Structure 1
Amino acid sequence: MSAETIAGLRRDRLEAFQAREAAAFIRARPGSAARMAEGAGHWLNGVPMHWMRDWPMPHLPVIARAEGARITDIDGHELDDFCLGDTGSMFGHSPAPVARAIHRQARRGLTYMLPSEAALAAGRLLAERFGPYLWQIATTATDANRFALRVARAVTGRPRILVFNGCYHGTVDEAMVELVDGATRGRAGLLGQMRDLSEGAVAVEFNDLSAVEAALEAGDIAAILTEPVMTNSCMVLPAPGFHDGLRALASRYGALLIMDETHTISSGPGGYSRVHGLRPDLFVVGKCVAGGMPAAAWGMTGAVAEAYGRADRARPPGHSGMGTTLSANPMQLACLVANLSEVMTEAAYDHMEKGAARLERGLAAAIARHGAPWHVVRVGARVEFICAPGPLRNGAEAALAHQPQVEAALHLGLLNRGSLIAPFHNMMLVSPATRKGAVDRLIRHFGAILSELFSRSVP
């Protein structure tokens, strides 16, 4: 790649576009700028959660309301929302059945650390939807993954976890590792890290079964923790036979297979595992599973539950290291029941799948029309455009495919034209509330931006 180009674009043209879009954003949102200047000073770095600083905007918009697949800021700008809370609202903002469940449960109490009728219904629905696992509720998928890893260590008596380079499973220590020159090390940039993370984890490349087997041969791997598709990077699909190979290797070497479906729940009503017949030992799902209410679920097979029961009975008295006070509160469970039974329907997924396929085709056509060295990838209702050739095979390739300067300019250009996509990568979700017109507008906006950036005329 020449110093004058980036991802096939002239760098000077990209920078000029970015400057124009930033100026347009500032002009259009004086109310948000004023409110942020007045009210953000009490928050560390101006935001209540530091990830909000990652949006590629001159300043953050202040949101007035979100409904369905639309979001409105205090300056009156209505946006087609394809970010949907970075998957947290994948089924739309405030689905009516979930909103009703919140209203009803609010009159009955918010938390009491005892089961409700909804708890009994939720367990049945989780098993029907995702498989006959024995379930527990957490508040975040990070916690669910952390607890699942404790179970794996307790059951196997082994200390280490295998993860894939470039993965993300929440802020779980074992997943905060990367491959550097073939060696596992803690990811660059970690704050407050007090121990060598490679003591508890080993990283290999996704789609590399030989590397998986080599790691398992050491005999100290308690579990393989993976997503069915790598999603928190430039998206990487599994190679044919990869998941069958993982299942076979885990069984052969006595490691447990943990499938984290927090993002790939976009694949269908039972997640990617149900759609493609995967057979994990432990299953994790979070973010959107309760319709936007903070909740996650993790389950284990009967065989794992029996082994875990033996380990639990044999341990000394004391804290297990698992659980949080507000997990499995009745509000979570009421929302979980409403979402699983009334929102995550076959009809909803059919709508999402068709809309996402339409989006995939439209974006790919725009890329081809302009001769951009980019590609599009989709998993169910989840679509990404990637500013590099594809398909990608592993985390190392995904890291090299990221083009932060290009992505930031595209995100801001789409936002200014009325389409919001996820800030961390080029992810777009189609919800049950997303209409064909919104999909077509996003395709049109994307094509218009590419026309400007790839134009052969001299600016």
Structure 2
Amino acid sequence: MTGPGYYSDRARLREAWEAELDVYRAARPASERLWREGLVHMPDGVPMLWMAKWPGPWPVFVERAAGAHFRCADGIDHVDLCLGDTGAMCGHAPAASVAAISERLAAGATMMLPTRDAAVAAELLSDRFGVPSWQFALSATDANRALIRYARQVTGRPKILVIDHCYHGTVDEAYATLDADGAVVERRGNIGAPVPPSLTTAVVPFNDLPAMEAALATLEVAAVLIEPALTNIGIVLPDPGWHAAVRELCDRTGTLLIIDETHTLSAGPGGMIARDGLRPDAVVVGKSIGGGVPAGAYGMTAAFAAAVRDSLELEDIDVGGVGGTLAGNAVSLAGIRATLSEVLTAEAFTGMIDRCTEWTVGVQAALDEFDVPWQVTQLGARAEYSFRPTPPHDGREAAEADDFELQQYLHLHALNRGILITPFHNMALMSPATTAADVERHTVAFREAVVSLFG
């Protein structure tokens, strides 16, 4: 990396990193012990390999979490600004969700049959996102896969269009990117891809309408699958008018438009769809809506839902590649019903967004004070700083600003001061339980980190 936001004093960075490692090792012997026990039967001592990517010689092991805090095995209290990378956006163990989930669990968790919570959950989602017909899954990944299959089914077209550097869970079609010549290729690190992504996927840059128009003009694309703002490569906001133009292009070419609001739900109770008046054919949500248990959902317009249902034979509906034995289970639906009606309310979002504005102001103040060539972008209750002086316009610009060593140092520095931010990003998310004091802890710690590098 050599761009205008590049941090050039690598010797100073390495020295600061080593000093923070010493602090970490001394403070977390219990986590080290649990990690070594885990090494016996788990690769890298963790239940998912990506957990080994957290900074430090071993990961933090959590004992208990509530609201916007958690306590680790070493008894250290942490302000949690990661919140399960959106999975705990409602805060840890919210009372209403816990009560509903516990009551349902005690009365039977999964029966392959509906409960009274199902229709309530579907109505709540319909009210928020403006599409009337809903189905339920265990994750947003599952929801995206279902809609991709349905889109191909009803259009007869083979390809899905995604945005360069997008994120839609572990959907194969979304693990594609553009190379330097504009060809569709596998994303770096893609594990065991089944087929070359160019066979299944078209890719265009975010905010690039001519590229979108050219791709849809082939009439090979069944659906455009987008996040209304990029989030997993850093927050990249849409240009004014971009969404309206994408909608018009889809209408003109008979292409379905799927909007994945799993991360951008941070914009408000109905995500960017409700806030900005977007008009998708289908919506995906997941992670946060279950109050802490696995849950995902996908909604469709009446026309799309009717086309799907008319295309399916009842005899084969369970073997067509959509759904799963635990999808739409009673516990997930109880969690969705309670979380949407009692936790992630419009009033809660007002406070969450206010706290995030305070976080953004605190980060910007430190950058301004020391003339640091980085920028910070806010999306409702979520914000992120990146190592470039201006907001990125597309995923490639965001990716080119990444600096893994610098990012790891900043995360480790925060952890040593009892603050967790979203892994592999410089992102913070606010919950209904996050306080101004929690935000101030980050503001103070972030300024200390800036001083250690630029002071």
- TM above 0.5, yes or no, is yes
Residues 135 and 298, structure 1, Cα contact 8 Å, conserved in 2? yes
Please give the secondary structure, in 1, of the residue aligned with 2:391: coil
**Deviation for aligned residue 1:316:** 7.1
**Deviation for aligned residue 1:372:** 0.8
Please give the secondary structure, in 1, of the residue aligned with 2:287: coil
Residues 366 and 447, structure 2, Cα contact 8 Å, conserved in 1? yes
The TM-score, its normalising length taken from structure 2, stands at 0.97
**Deviation for aligned residue 1:120:** 2.1
Alignment of 1:227-242 (within 5 A): 227-242=227-242
> For residues 103-156 of structure 1, what are the alpha-carbon distances to aligned partners after superposition, in whole Å with 9 as ceiling and x for unaligned?
211221011010111112111111122223200000011110000111111111
Q: 1:198 maps to what in 2?
A: 198
Q: For 1:129 and 1:255, how far apart are their aligned partners in 2?
A: 24
Q: For 1:429 and 1:327, how far apart are their aligned partners in 2?
A: 27
Matched, 1:290 2:290: yes
Q: 2:333 maps to what in 1?
A: 333
Q: For 1:310 and 1:87, how far apart are their aligned partners in 2?
A: 35
Q: 1:68 maps to what in 2?
A: 67
Matched, 1:257 2:257: yes
Please give the secondary structure, in 2, of the residue aligned with 1:437: helix
> For residues 285-310 of structure 1, what are the alpha-carbon distances to aligned partners after superposition, in whole Å with 9 as ceiling and x for unaligned?
00101111110010110011121122
Please give the secondary structure, in 2, of the residue aligned with 1:297: strand
**Deviation for aligned residue 1:317:** 7.7
Structure 2: where are the runs of 5+ without partners?
Answer: none
Supply the RMSD in Å over aligned alpha carbons: 1.6
Q: For 2:136 and 2:18, how far apart are their aligned partners in 1?
A: 46
Q: Judging changes above 3 Å, is the alpha-carbon distance between structure 1 residues 317 and 433 closer, same or farther for their aligned structure 2 residues?
A: closer
> For residues 337-382 of structure 1, what are the alpha-carbon distances to aligned partners after superposition, in whole Å with 9 as ceiling and x for unaligned?
1001000111100000100011111101111111111000010000
Alignment of 1:249-398 (within 5 A): 249-313=249-313, 319-398=319-398
Q: For 1:197 and 1:397, how far apart are their aligned partners in 2?
A: 22
Q: For 1:317 and 1:194, how far apart are their aligned partners in 2?
A: 25
> For residues 214-235 of structure 1, what are the alpha-carbon distances to aligned partners after superposition, in whole Å with 9 as ceiling and x for unaligned?
0011111000000000000021
Q: For 2:106 and 2:33, how far apart are their aligned partners in 1?
A: 37
Q: 2:131 maps to what in 1?
A: 132
Please give the secondary structure, in 2, of the residue aligned with 1:142: helix
Residues 9 and 453, structure 1, Cα contact 8 Å, conserved in 2? no
**Deviation for aligned residue 1:189:** 2.1
Q: 2:33 maps to what in 1?
A: 34
Please give the secondary structure, in 1, of the residue aligned with 2:328: coil
Please give the secondary structure, in 2, of the residue aligned with 1:211: helix
**Deviation for aligned residue 1:2:** 6.5
Q: 1:43 maps to what in 2?
A: 42
Residues 388 and 401, structure 1, Cα contact 8 Å, conserved in 2? yes
Please give the secondary structure, in 2, of the residue aligned with 1:202: strand
Q: 1:115 maps to what in 2?
A: 114
Q: For 1:135 and 1:95, how far apart are their aligned partners in 2?
A: 25
Q: For 1:40 and 1:318, how far apart are their aligned partners in 2?
A: 39
The TM-score, its normalising length taken from structure 1, stands at 0.96
Residues 158 and 200, structure 2, Cα contact 8 Å, conserved in 1? yes
Q: Judging changes above 3 Å, is the alpha-carbon distance between structure 1 residues 317 and 56 closer, same or farther for their aligned structure 2 residues?
A: closer
**Deviation for aligned residue 1:315:** 9.8
**Deviation for aligned residue 1:390:** 1.6
Residues 35 and 46, structure 2, Cα contact 8 Å, conserved in 1? no
**Deviation for aligned residue 1:44:** 2.4
Q: For 1:9 and 1:410, how far apart are their aligned partners in 2?
A: 15
Q: For 1:354 and 1:28, how far apart are their aligned partners in 2?
A: 33
Q: Which amino acid aligns with 2:332?
A: Q
**Deviation for aligned residue 1:417:** 1.1
Q: For 2:403 and 2:238, how far apart are their aligned partners in 1?
A: 22
Structure 1: where are the runs of 5+ without partners?
Answer: none
Q: 1:433 maps to what in 2?
A: 433
Q: 2:93 maps to what in 1?
A: 94
Matched pairs, number: 454
Question: Which range moves more in the overlay, 106-115 or 205-214?
Answer: 106-115
Residues 97 and 338, structure 1, Cα contact 8 Å, conserved in 2? yes
Q: For 2:160 and 2:105, how far apart are their aligned partners in 1?
A: 40
**Deviation for aligned residue 1:31:** 1.2
Q: Which amino acid aligns with 1:337?
A: R
Q: For 2:317 and 2:364, how far apart are their aligned partners in 1?
A: 58
Q: Which amino acid aligns with 1:202?
A: A
Please give the secondary structure, in 2, of the residue aligned with 1:441: helix
Residues 356 and 382, structure 2, Cα contact 8 Å, conserved in 1? yes
Please give the secondary structure, in 2, of the residue aligned with 1:323: coil
Q: 1:409 maps to what in 2?
A: 409
Please give the secondary structure, in 2, of the residue aligned with 1:79: strand
Q: Judging changes above 3 Å, is the alpha-carbon distance between structure 1 residues 144 and 317 closer, same or farther for their aligned structure 2 residues?
A: closer
